Structure 1
Amino acid sequence: MEVSIQIEVRSTEIDVMGHVNNAKYLEYLEWGREEWYNRAQLPFDEFTRMGIGTVTVRIEINYRKEATLGEKLTITTRPVKRGRSSFVLEQVIDNEKGERVADAQVTSVTIDLKERKSVPLPEKLAAYFPESR
């Protein structure tokens, strides 16, 4: 399942170079992941009911093109692979001209909220990912 959201770059996201600060892209990606979870019917409270949390353990991001004030950006999120307790979401950020602004692979792990240790992916989440090899 692929999910996209659109945002507009705001003045508070711009750094002294006149473009989006690199740290803001991580927020944009987080917003995209949150929307993916919601559309997968796995919002935060659903994980909590299962006694599970998701923890981001790695983000590999490529900054491709600067984004500036007022630009409309589309953040697209799609599942790419899963392990026993980990999963990877691929995310891309494109501008309104269709140019790639950034792309990332985000690895997360499911943990037991009480024990704070990794646990196998719940089937409800694993079902969105291709079988691991």
Structure 2
Amino acid sequence: MTEREPYRVQIKVRQYELDSLGHVNHAVYHQYAEVARTSLIEDAGGRNGELEKARLATVMLESRISFRRELRYGDVVDVTCEVKFGDGKTFRMDTNIYKADGTLSAEITSTLGIMDLDRRRLVAEPRARFEEAGVDTAMLGG
């Protein structure tokens, strides 16, 4: 059995994302991860309306980043993400940002949950709640 490739999106670094040193501003790395995260959930079926009908939404609880190599204007990057479910109300998403030559530029680890939008509380068993809403959890990676 072969290991599944993580979900991947491509983003081109824009000039306005640079800081005074000429490389991508630190906060932009988180934005790139957010683009990949929301695209993954949408592509896995998370925007089919069932999460919204159930008054549920994913919520970011924590995000940590390790910078490895700088990104500069014009670079095209691959942003990968993969969900890891465990026990409890939260799940983890690992995101990596790679330069075109395969060099790892940043590693981002995030903790997320699914929030009940009426109660403003996290729900139990996020994998099961995704599946109930028609989200392909195999595509999420977990």
TM-score by length of 1: 0.89
Q: Is 1:21 matched up with 2:17?
A: no
Deviation (angstroms), 1:109: 1.2
In the alignment, the residues of structure 2 paired with residue 127 and residue 27 of structure 1 have an alpha-carbon distance, to the nearest angstrom, of 23
Deviation (angstroms), 1:6: 0.4
- Name the CA shift for 1:44/1:69 in 2 (closer, same or farther; >3 Å): farther
Q: Secondary structure at the match of 2:121?
A: coil
- Name the CA shift for 1:10/1:44 in 2 (closer, same or farther; >3 Å): farther
Deviation (angstroms), 1:18: 0.3
Q: CA RMSD in A?
A: 1.8
Aligned residues: 130
Unmatched segments (≥5 aa) in structure 1: none
In the alignment, the residues of structure 1 paired with residue 130 and residue 35 of structure 2 have an alpha-carbon distance, to the nearest angstrom, of 23
Q: Secondary structure at the match of 1:47?
A: helix
- Name the CA shift for 1:44/1:18 in 2 (closer, same or farther; >3 Å): farther
- Which residue of structure 1 aligns with residue 65 of structure 2? 61
- Name the CA shift for 1:44/1:64 in 2 (closer, same or farther; >3 Å): farther
Q: Secondary structure at the match of 1:55?
A: strand
- Which residue of structure 2 aligns with residue 114 of structure 1? 118
TM-score by length of 2: 0.84
- Select which of 83, 87, 90 maps to 1:86: 90
- Which residue of structure 2 aligns with residue 99 of structure 1? 103
Unmatched segments (≥5 aa) in structure 2: none
1:8/1:70 contact within 8 Å kept:
yes
In the alignment, the residues of structure 2 paired with residue 84 and residue 126 of structure 1 have an alpha-carbon distance, to the nearest angstrom, of 19
Deviation (angstroms), 1:79: 1.4
- Name the CA shift for 1:3/1:99 in 2 (closer, same or farther; >3 Å): same
Q: Is 1:36 matched up with 2:40?
A: yes
